[in-house]
Chain A
């Protein structure tokens, strides 16, 4: 069955370190999204991509970057982790072309000490 996976599921890191969270989908979806979820803020969009070599900033993109070298993967990189980036991160994908239903991965819980 097609699916969307995230790894690692849990990560503890130190302030200042570079961290990369992986997202992989097997639906062949064009669109991919990264969100963070914090209490009191709901889901906030970090970055998104409409296809290979396309990336766009969301509402909370500072301190994060993404790259899209193939259809299946959209890794999220924290260039220099900060305690404010402690959160649960969700990746999602959608087919695009007017079908906006997004399907979410299981999430990565990141703690920055």
Chain B
């Protein structure tokens, strides 16, 4: 069946190290992907997005990589800081239908150790 999911439920990293959070999707028709960050007690916050005509997109300390061949999405956070501790969700859009709806993964908890 269709699935947007994350490989690991919890990721623990040392402050200053780089973090990589992975996401798998199964629908090759998906053409838009978003990463959200959700801190405790808050709503999901947009981090970065990427369209299927791109392989890589960079933001401030974050990079999203898209591998359409294996239907894999990753979020890389450089020099991870305590403020990066949160749950990270990937989401996909089935753009061919243009419904505006997103399908969310279950989320990965990132823990940053001082």
| C-alpha spacing A1/B94, complex, angstroms | 30
- Residues A42 and B42 in contact, CB atoms below 8 Å apart: no
Q: What chain B residues lie within 8 Å of A90 (beta carbons)?
A: 43-44
B interface, size bucket: 20 to 34
How many A residues have CB within 8 A of the partner chain? 23
Q: Which residues of A contact B32 (CB under 8 A)?
A: 100
- The answer to whether A31 touches B89, judged by C-beta atoms less than 8 angstroms apart, is no
Are A31 and B100 in touch, CB under 8 angstroms?
yes
Docked-complex contact A104 and B104, CB < 8 angstroms:
no
| A100 touching B89 in the complex, CB below 8 Å, given contacts A42-B107, A90-B44, A106-B43 | no
A94 touches B105 (CB 8 A): no
Q: How far is the CA of A78 from the CA of B34 in the complex (A)?
A: 30
A residues with a Cβ closer than 8 A to B are 31, 33, 40-43, 45, 48, 50, 58, 90, 92, 94, 96, 98, 100-107
If A102-B34, A106-B43 are given as contacts, then 5 extra A-B residue pairs at C-beta distance below 8 Å, sorted by A number, are: A43-B104, A45-B101, A100-B34, A103-B46, A107-B41
